[in-house]
Amino acid sequence: MAHRGYSRDGLENSMAAFRAAVELGIGHLETDVHTTADGVLLLFHDDALDRVTDSEGRIADLTAAQVAQARIGGREAIPTFDQLATEFPKARLNLDVKDWNSVRTLAAAIERHDAHDRMLVTSFSDRRRRAVLRLLSRRTATSAGLPLTAAFVLLGPVLPTGLLRRLLHDVDAFQVPVGFGPVRVITAGFLRRAHRLGIQVHVWTINDPAHMRDLLDLGVDGIVTDRSDLLKEVLQGRGDWD
């Protein structure tokens, strides 16, 4: 998965970064959503413009017209969800719902584009991602939030499989780092337990080729990376690039 697209120039979550990932042949794009004061769904990681653009202000306090003046890295406009979904109608999108303002706007956008089959809705908040799912007209893939992931890491080895299935009834994936502080998350046991439940495991954010190879050897299902070019080379070298 191309983490906020693919850019070596700091143009994260820009159409240029998404185009670069697609041109490499990456079929899965990871991105984030926020909503403007007038209800336009944007692809942007932070709640404010300050870090990566030449403008300032919280997105939730600005209109779409005001945000449209900002430039990522001084060069690229902040894209809307509609732009990405329309330009790349076959791309699969991994969408991190960053705020409550975006629950209804994201659900409406997925419905508008009839894009349920190519979306994976995620959030650190299980309440927020489930709020999106409840507004959708049909089943859409989703990954566990932080509470359910922590429960699975800590209690998965001791809880019965049937109870885990009920707890994770709407979860299609865990999207996790290799570890949280001193706690190692990605282990053979974690993968085995997740796969027994039919749940995929995606690891973020991996930019070192040797680390990519180790994780693939271990059996992870997806890698989120800033370096789509290096991941492509690794997969080609393993004969796994389609």
pTM listed for this prediction = 0.95
Same domain as 23, residue 76: yes
Q: What is the CATH number of the domain that holds 190?
A: 3.20.20.190
Is 116 part of the annotated catalytic residue set?
no
pLDDT digits (tens, 9 = 90+) for 87-114: 999 999 999 999 999 999 999 999 999 9
Q: Which distant-in-sequence residues (6+ apart) come within 8 Å of 36 by Cβ?
A: 42, 59, 60, 62, 63, 64, 66, 67
pLDDT band at 180 (very low <50, low <70, confident <90, very high): confident
28, 45, 113, 195: which one is catalytic?
45
Same domain? For 114 and 218 the reply is no
Band of residue 211 on the pLDDT scale cut at 50, 70, 90: very high
Parallel/antiparallel/unpaired status of strands 41-43 and 28-35 = antiparallel
Is 222 a residue whose pLDDT tops 90? yes
Residues 121 and 193 in one domain: no
Domain boundary residue among 142, 172, 207?
Answer: 142
Residues 11 and 89 in one domain: yes
181 pLDDT band, cuts 50/70/90, is confident
Percent of the chain with pLDDT over 90: 98
Instruction: Give the pLDDT score at 242.
Output: 81
Q: What's the rounded mean pLDDT across residues 149-161?
A: 94
Query: Do residue 88 and residue 164 come from a single domain?
Result: no
pLDDT reported for residue 210: 98
The residue range of the domain holding 130 is 1-142
Catalytic residue among 3, 28, 34, 202: 3
Cα dihedral 95, 222, 49, 140 in deg (nearest 10): 0
Same-domain status, 241 and 151: yes
- Concerning whether 34 is annotated as a catalytic residue, the answer is no
Q: How many CB atoms lie within 10 A of CB 64?
A: 17
205 and 121 together in one domain: no
Same domain, 241 and 167: yes
Number of separate domains in the chain? 2
Considering the domain architecture, whether residues 18 and 58 belong to the same structural domain is answered as yes
Do residues 30 and 100 both lie within one domain?
yes
pLDDT tens-place string over residues 17-35: 999 999 999 999 999 999 9
pLDDT beyond 90 at 183: no
Looking at the structure, do residues 35 and 95 belong to the same domain, yes or no? yes
Same domain assignment for residues 84 and 164: no
